[in-house]
Each structure stands twice: as structure tokens, then as C-alpha cells.
Amino acid sequence: MACAKTLYRKLIDSHTVRELDDQGNVLLYIDRSILNEYTSPQAFSGLREKNRKAWRPESVLLNVDHVNPTRPVRDDKMTDPGGQLQVDYFRENSRDFGIELFDVLDTRQGIEHVVAPEQGFVLPGMVIAAGDSHTTTYGALGAFGFGIGTSEIEHFLATQTLAYKRLKTMRVKVSGKLDPAVTAKDIIMLLIQRIGASGATGFAIEFTGSVITQLSVEGRMTICNMAVEAGARGAFMAPDEKVYQYLQDKPRAPKGEMWELALQSWQNLYTDEGAEFDREIELDCDKLEPMVTWGISPDQADNISGVLPDPADEKDPQKRLAQEKALAYMALKPGTRLTDIPISHAFIGSCTNGRIEDLRLAAEVLKGKKITPHVRGMIIPGSTLVRQQAEQEGLAKIFIDAGFEWRQSGCSMCLAMNEDVLEPGDRCASSTNRNFAGRQGAGSHTHLMSPAMVAVAAIAGHLADVRSINGGEQ
Ligand SMILES: CC(C)[C@H](C(=O)O)[C@@H](O)C(=O)O
Ligand code: SF4
């Protein structure tokens, strides 16, 4: 009898060209990739130097997202000369290697991890490797996505394969009854807080449980996307009816008979009964509140009703040091209530929370309200298509009326590689995924949270509980 397999092993084994040794190193076939202007240049230079072609150019998409401006009126010029060089070279690589490019003015452009699912470019059962750590997002569709470095991109482009070491497996079962104000972002923030920023290093996480089943596909993407902040090099969920429905009308999804065949082949994408995981975690969300980060690592997070920790109370010397460092950088005092932390900026966007459902949640909070005058609010849709849809649904008007800037798509202030940069001392409520020191600008302070929580902080002028808007108290 064949032995019970995890979904992870099914995905990896079905793409293993050859076992390289008995330590779990394999030559892995990669179905598809999406590359950005920032991490791909050296890979293409490497190919050029060796006079190599791309093996399957049609399996790759190029998409500009990291350095482009997000000014409300779009043009295709970068503000920074370095960024302009990267985009020019990207265009040249698209031409010379015959790879399709979603350039800045293309209506399909956006943040790669929003664009690829939206185009139906990622399908269940696929293995996707791309030059960005948040490639894990595609796990929400039952694909296995992981980030690779520049030399690996070159290897992939030339051969369609990668040398890969199989990961350990972790199953995270998410159960309980969610408070309506709690979102997918809060669930993944809870997991990261619980297991730590390197708690899943060396692991691929499979998320299961009733909460995951109930989440929308977009919510699942938020979870798989941010699992990388716990160190995971892969995060996924078994595909279900919701995934098939999500994909069915997407431009690049198979059609007609091919769709039927694809559906059949996806039926086997689940973990077999009795398959073993290296680690199992239960996450009960019954008492989960909206979460925010207070420090400079994504695991330095708490419920919004919490207070800042006092390092003096921390027994673990390493944690104590990390807390001291974080509080000093963040210019915060132990014991402060999280809701007493004032903000100067509010940012809604990124590949974690820049999809249409995220914007709808933010709009629900902002409808008929104004943000505090001293807060600069920016909304950066995850893709140009998301932007169009938000405009059609009337969300853009709600944002603009509330005092937010309604901008074009890109990574923007998630990592501040274009001109969307915070000044030293600025403090931002942000729907992004990384709060490292200086991430949004040297000397700036970032608090991660869900888009609805960013919206409510923008109205209040300080971190606030999204549940308080119904009760009136802020
Ligand atoms: C630029 C890129 C290498 C990086 C990543 O891989 O995640 C970026 O997208 C980020 O979010 O920090
Ligand atoms: S939006 Fe942020 S996290 Fe996502 S790819 Fe861009 S920089 Fe990285």
C-alpha cells in the first residue's frame, strides 16, 4: 500500500526530476515564475554573459512593481535614476528573451503577488519559484510558491529547474469562532507572535481547519503571504470549491475541456489521512482580537487592547534585549496602552492587504468619516485592476472624501524604494507585512495591522480598536 503523503510531498514529488542525494536534495521542476525589475537584473546579465536563452519564456511574466512611482496620475518615468535603469533593463530583457512584460502603463500591472493570481497565472498543483520572498502567497490557491535569489533565478530561466532541499512540514490547524472585526491578517499575526519570527524556519506550513475553510481566497492569500514572516519557505492550503470558483473566470485559467481536465487533476491535492507532520500547531481564534505590532520584528505584536511590555519583567535575556532595542527604536515607553500611540501616517496597500476585499473593509470603516487632519493617509491598490474595480464600486470616492490619497499601484511605502518614503520620526499605521527598523524610511516607525485597523487609526489619529467605531468610543 502506498504510504500516506502530505500535500507538500505530493506537490514536491510530482515536480521532482531527480533525487540528488539521500538528504532530501532534489532537482525540482518549476512550472512558472513572475519576476520584478529589482531582483532579476543580475540573472539576465548572467544569461547574457553565458549566451544562454530562457528555456520556456512563456512560463515567465515580468512585472514592474518595486520602484515605480504611485503618483495619482500615472506616467512611465521613474523618479530615481537607479530605478529608471532597472526598469529600462527590464524592458530590454523582455524584448531580448521574449518574455511578456506588464510595464507600468499596462492595465494588468500591479504588485506581482496580486497580479499573478488575478490573471489566473497560478493554478493549483503548480510549483512557482520567483525572485521575491512573498511568493508563498500562491499557496492559497493550492500551489507551492517560494522565493529564490538572483543566481537561482538565472538557473531557473536557463533550465526550468532548481536544486532544492525538501523542507520539514508543519501543520497549523486554525479553529474557533472569529469575532466579525477579526481578519485573516490578525490570524497570521497571532501565529507569528506565538511561534516567533523564525518559528517556521526550515518548514513548509500547511494551514487547515474550519477558520481557513470559511475564509475567502483573498483572506487565505493574506495568510500564506505573511507566513514568510515566521520564517516559512512555503505556506499553502488544500484547494477547494472556493479556489476553483475564484479561478474559473480568470484570463489565463484553462477553459472548456482543459478546465474540466484541470479540475479532475486537482482532486488529489490534499494531505492523506494519517500522513505525518514534523510539527503540529493548534491556533484557537475564539478570543482573538485585532492585532498590532509595537516593535521592529513582526512577532513583537499584541492585541489592540494590550499595553507595551516592560523589558524588566522579561525573564528570557534575549527577548529582554530585543524588547529594549525595539522600544528604544520605536521611541515608546513600557506600559503605554497601544491605543495611546499617536500616528502621523496611515498606509493601506501591499501584497498582504492591497486586494479588493481589503479595500472594501477599509471603505466600510471610512464611509462618511474624515481622517485626522495631521495624518497623511495613502491608499495604494494592489494592482491596476484592483484600482479600476475600487473606482467602479465607489470605494475610491469614499477614500478621497475621507481625506486619503488615492494612488496608483505598486509596492510603494511597503518598502519605500520609490519616492513614497517616511521621514525620521514619522509613525505609520500600515497594512503591510514588515516592520523592520527603517523599512518605510530611515528612522521611521511602523505598526502593522489589518486595513480596517489602519482606517480606524487614521480617523482617531492614534492606534485604535476597529470594534470601537460601532460603540462610538475611540
Ligand atoms: C525586494 C525583495 C527582495 C523583497 C522580498 O523578497 O520580499 C521585497 O519584496 C520585500 O518585501 O522585502
Ligand atoms: S508589496 Fe511589499 S512585501 Fe509585497 S512584494 Fe512589494 S515590497 Fe515585498
Q: Which atom of ligand 1 is nearest to the CA of 439?
A: 12
Q: Which CATH number fits domain 292-471: 3.10.100.10, 3.10.20.30, 3.30.499.10, 3.30.559.10?
A: 3.30.499.10
Question: pLDDT for 132-172, tens place per residue?
Answer: 999 999 999 999 999 999 999 999 999 999 999 999 999 99
- For residue 415 and ligand 1, the question of a CB distance below 6 A is answered with yes
Q: What residues does each domain of the chain span?
A: 7-279, 292-471
Q: What is the mean pLDDT of residues 87-93?
A: 98
Instruction: Please tell me if the CB atom of residue 39 comes closer than 6 angstroms to any atom of ligand 1.
Output: yes
pLDDT of residue 2: 66
Pocket flag, ligand 1, residue 231 (CB < 6 Å): no
Question: Which ligand 2 atom is nearest residue 349's CA?
Answer: 1
First-to-last CA distance in the chain?
Answer: 61
Q: Give pTM, 2 decimals.
A: 0.98
Q: How far is the CA of 433 from the centre of ligand 2 (A)?
A: 8
Confidence of residue 473 (pLDDT cuts 50, 70, 90): very low
14 lines ligand 1 (CB under 6 A): no
Mean pLDDT of the region 114-118 = 98
Q: Is 130 in the pocket of ligand 1 (CB under 6 A)?
A: no
For ligand 1, the distance from its centroid to the CA atom of residue 50, given in whole angstroms, is: 27
- In this prediction, residue 248 carries a pLDDT of 97
Q: 174 φ, ψ to 5°?
A: -105, 115
- In single-letter form, the type of residue at position 130 comes to A
Q: Is 285 annotated as a binding residue?
A: no
**Which pLDDT value is given to residue 470?**
57
Annotated ligand binding at 414? The verdict is: yes
Counting from 1 in the atom list of ligand 2, the atom nearest the Cα of 132 is 5
Residue minimizing CA distance to atom 12 of ligand 1? 415
Given a cut of 80, whether residue 37 has pLDDT beyond it is: yes
CB proximity list for 175: less than 8 A, separation 6 or greater: 209, 210, 211, 282, 283, 284, 285
Percentage, residues of the chain above pLDDT 70: 99
List 218's β-bridge partners, or say none: none
Q: Which whole number is the average pLDDT over 386-407?
A: 98
Is the ipTM here above 0.85? yes
Q: 428: annotated binding-site residue?
A: no
For the stretch 267-284, pLDDT in tens is 999 999 999 999 999 999
Q: Are 115 and 101 in contact (CB under 8 A)?
A: no
CB-defined site of ligand 2, < 6 Å: 65-66, 111, 113, 132, 134, 350-351, 411, 414-415, 432-433
Distance between CA atoms of residues 105 and 418, nearest Å: 16
User: Which class would CATH give 7-279?
Assistant: alpha beta
Q: How many CB atoms lie within 10 A of CB 86?
A: 23
Q: Is the fold of 7-279 the same as that of 292-471?
A: yes
Residue 469 pLDDT:
80
Ligand 2 pocket test, pick from 36, 39, 66 with the greatest ligand atom count within 8 Å of Cβ, gives: 66
**Does the Cβ of 133 fall within 6 Å of ligand 1?**
yes
| pLDDT tops 90 at residue 1 | no
* pLDDT tens track for 289-332: 999 999 999 999 999 999 999 999 999 999 999 999 999 999 99
For 286, other C-beta atoms within 10 Å of its C-beta total 9
Q: How confident is the model at residue 471 (pLDDT cuts 50, 70, 90)?
A: very low
Mutating to test ligand 1, I would choose from 68, 90, 133, 152 the residue with most ligand atoms within 8 A of its C-beta, which is 133
374-389 confidence digits (pLDDT tens): 999 999 999 999 999 9
User: How far is C-alpha 142 from the chain's CA centre?
Assistant: 16
**pLDDT band with cut points at 50, 70 and 90 for residue 334:** very high
Query: Which pLDDT score is estimated for 474?
Result: 41
